[in-house]
Chain A
Amino acid sequence: GNSVTQMEGPVTLSEEAFLTINCTYTATGYPSLFWYVQYPGEGLQLLLKATKADDKGSNKGFEATYRKETTSFHLEKGSVQVSDSAVYFCALSDQRGGADGLTFGKGTHLIIQP
């Protein structure tokens, strides 16, 4: 079956530091890949996505590149802010377009200190 593995948290950084959150996946075929963000007490918001190999998703300064050769989709940001503190989820949908729902990683709690 499909699975997503992401780095354990919490990840604590100082403001303006460089961020990397690792994500690797196992899936058959060619899944689409996503990063979602969850702020305290809220639902999930789509941060970015990539639907085929070598695609780069980007939004709000965050980027992630779909690497089929390493089955990875690492999230990066060049300079984090306190407002980026949240839980980040890597997810995939299967080659049927995710009709059966998404497969999520366990989430990485990011804490940015001023």
Chain B
Amino acid sequence: DGGITQSPKYLFRKEGQNVTLSCEQNLNHDAMYWYRQDPGQGLRLIYYSQIVNDFQKGDIAEGYSVSREKKESFPLTVTSAQKNPTAFYLCASSPAGIVETQYFGPGTRLLVL
């Protein structure tokens, strides 16, 4: 079955530690996105990528980094510079320029120890 997988489902981060969230899709989509979800805040865009080896900052990119070395993978690193990382992180993908067919993964919940 085609879809988007995110791992792990839960992730714990210690102070000063970088952690990486995985996002993989087998839908052959060109575009991939990372959103952060906080209670009562809706979803906010962190980074997006329209093509391999290229990505752009979204509205809240500070403290995060991404890479897009393969079409099917778009990992997100939460760095130690992100002072409030506790949130639900959602990855999405779509065919290039057709965001209304955007598909979401099941999400990763990041908690700080």
Instruction: Chain B residues near A4: list those with CB within 8 A.
Output: 42
Interface check B76, CB cutoff 8 A: no
A51 & B100 in contact (Cβ 8 Å cutoff): yes
Contact of B56 among A43, A93, A97, A100 (CB under 8 A): A100
Instruction: Chain B residues near A46: list those with CB within 8 A.
Output: 100-102
Contact of B43 among A49, A89, A93 (CB under 8 A): A89
Which size class do A's interface residues fall under?
20 to 34
Contact of A106 among B42, B94, B105 (CB under 8 A): B42
B22-65 interface with A by 8 A CB criterion: 31, 33, 35, 40-45, 48, 50, 56, 58
Q: Report Cα–Cα, A49/B6, bound state, in Å.
A: 25
Contact digits for A40-62, partner B, Cβ 8 Å, 1 yes 0 no: 01111110010100000000000
Instruction: Chain B residues near A29: list those with CB within 8 A.
Output: none
Minimum CB–CB distance from A99 to chain B (whole Å) comes to 6
Instruction: Chain B residues near A44: list those with CB within 8 A.
Output: 43, 90, 92, 104
Q: Report Cα–Cα, A89/B42, bound state, in Å.
A: 8
Which size class do B's interface residues fall under?
20 to 34
Contact digits for B5-34, partner A, Cβ 8 Å, 1 yes 0 no: 010000000000000000000000001010
A99 & B99 in contact (Cβ 8 Å cutoff): yes
Instruction: Chain B residues near A114: list those with CB within 8 A.
Output: none
B41 & A102 in contact (Cβ 8 Å cutoff): no
B43 & A43 in contact (Cβ 8 Å cutoff): no
Contact digits for A93-105, partner B, Cβ 8 Å, 1 yes 0 no: 1001111111011
Interface check A32, CB cutoff 8 A: yes
A43-B107, A107-B42 known; A101-B48 Cβ under 8 A: yes
B83-99 interface with A by 8 A CB criterion: 90, 92, 94, 96-99
**Given A42-B106, A100-B56, list of 5 further CB < 8 A pairs?**
A36-B104, A43-B107, A100-B45, A100-B48, A101-B99
